[in-house]
Amino acid sequence: MSMITRIAELIREHDDYTVIAHIAPDGDTICSCMALKLGLEQIGKKAQVVCDNRVPPMFAFLEESYFVKTMPDVKRTESCIAVDCADRLRMGTCAKLFDAASFTVCLDHHGTNIGFGDLFCVDTTAAATGEIVYLLFKEMGVDIDSDIARYLYCAIIADSGQFAYSNTTPRTMRIAADLLETGIDGNELHTKLYSSDPVSKLRIKARAINNLQLFADGKIAVTVITQRDILAAGASNEDTEGIAEMLRGIDTVELSAVIKEQRDGAFKVSMRSQNIGNVAAIARKFGGGGHERAAGYTIARPLTYCLNTLTDELLRELDV
Ligand code: AMP
Ligand code: MN
Ligand code: MN
């Protein structure tokens, strides 16, 4: 029996769920969680979605995202599902709920995930955890209606770069086609998520380009965004999403990285690779994780240390 079939069976035997998104939530984790909540409720279960951080405003058009709870408002439940979390730490303080639960499931697609929980499905061939939730719903007999489809479609376009990244497979496209068949407006979702940027996002991009450093004949691009940059651009931390992809889009670049200063002074590093170099391997060295072509970590050290160690690792990865 496949793991997804086993998970589908056991989910039916439990009633009260907490669905946990990862810290610094992105479209895949939020939308996969929301789809799971709707699917569980459809088959008569209780379900709440929790996240350690607030949901970025770009998801506000998905009305139900207001229902995502933060830790103090959360009641403990017997069952928990970790969604798109490469390890326990990615749940932040919500890990407490997971550890206290008597039935735990992990649904994820990160290559650095070694598996945790009573049952786990880590499918690294899935472009998004949303793909796994779709397959799970098929096993569970959940009717994927247009409300659920909207969320799953958003989860998939978020992690596949709107079907442009190398993680996009024929299966991704088939699932997306099936979701569109429910009557959802794909163009509306692409536009709301990716063509509705506040001007502050463009201003922070401009600052990131200004701070750009190129190494190894332009094969490596690194930039730094400080809290001062964010303030001067009138931007929020969420506005820094997508900058690593933008740098990877330079014709000479194989490896790109953005070092983003957090409000607490730590640095969050986002890395992307084009055709060569495994950025998940670098992330793992610094206690982070991710995929071969997109990975990240957080480091509480001075900026020069962070920049030097990162460029050393990127140069080494280019030689592998
Ligand atoms: P980001 O650069 O934040 O968009 O993240 C790229 C990929 O790496 C995503 O799939 C994240 O889930 C993963 N990732 C980022 N930071 C971490 C971390 N600290 N630990 C594990 N995975 C991470
Ligand atoms: Mn994610
Ligand atoms: Mn994901």
Smallest CA separation from ligand 1 atom 2, residue: 270
pLDDT computed for residue 65 by the predictor: 63
pLDDT computed for residue 231 by the predictor: 97
Phi and psi dihedrals of 124, rounded to 5?
Answer: -75, -5
pLDDT one digit per residue (tens) for the chain, 320 residues = 899 999 999 999 999 999 999 999 999 999 999 999 999 999 999 999 999 998 988 898 987 666 788 887 799 999 999 999 999 999 999 999 999 999 999 999 999 999 999 999 999 999 999 999 999 999 999 999 999 999 999 999 999 999 999 999 999 999 999 999 999 999 999 999 999 999 999 999 999 999 999 999 999 999 999 999 999 999 998 899 999 999 999 999 999 999 999 999 999 999 999 999 999 999 999 999 999 999 999 999 999 999 999 999 999 999 87
Smallest CA separation from ligand 1 atom 13, residue: 290
Give me the residue label for tokens 């970790």. 82
Give the number of the ligand closest to the Cα of residue 262.
Answer: 1
Rounded Cα–Cα distance for residues 249 and 234 (Å): 25
Rounded Cα–Cα distance for residues 5 and 140 (Å): 8
pLDDT computed for residue 71 by the predictor: 80
β-bridge mates for residue 258, sequence order: 223, 270
Pocket of ligand 1 (CB under 6 A): 86, 90, 110, 244, 270, 288-291, 294-298
| Distance from the alpha carbon of residue 29 to the mean position of ligand 2, in angstroms | 5
Q: Are strands 294-299 and 289-290 parallel, antiparallel or unpaired?
A: antiparallel
Give the angle subtended at the CA of 157 by the CAs of 278 and 27, to the nearest 5°: 85
Give the number of the ligand closest to the Cα of residue 282.
Answer: 1
Mutational test site, ligand 1, from 84, 109, 131, 270, max ligand atoms within 8 Å of CB = 270
pTM over 0.85? The answer is: yes
Give me the residue label for tokens 């730590």. 266
pLDDT computed for residue 99 by the predictor: 97
Rounded Cα–Cα distance for residues 170 and 4 (Å): 20
| Distance from the alpha carbon of residue 301 to the mean position of ligand 3, in angstroms | 27
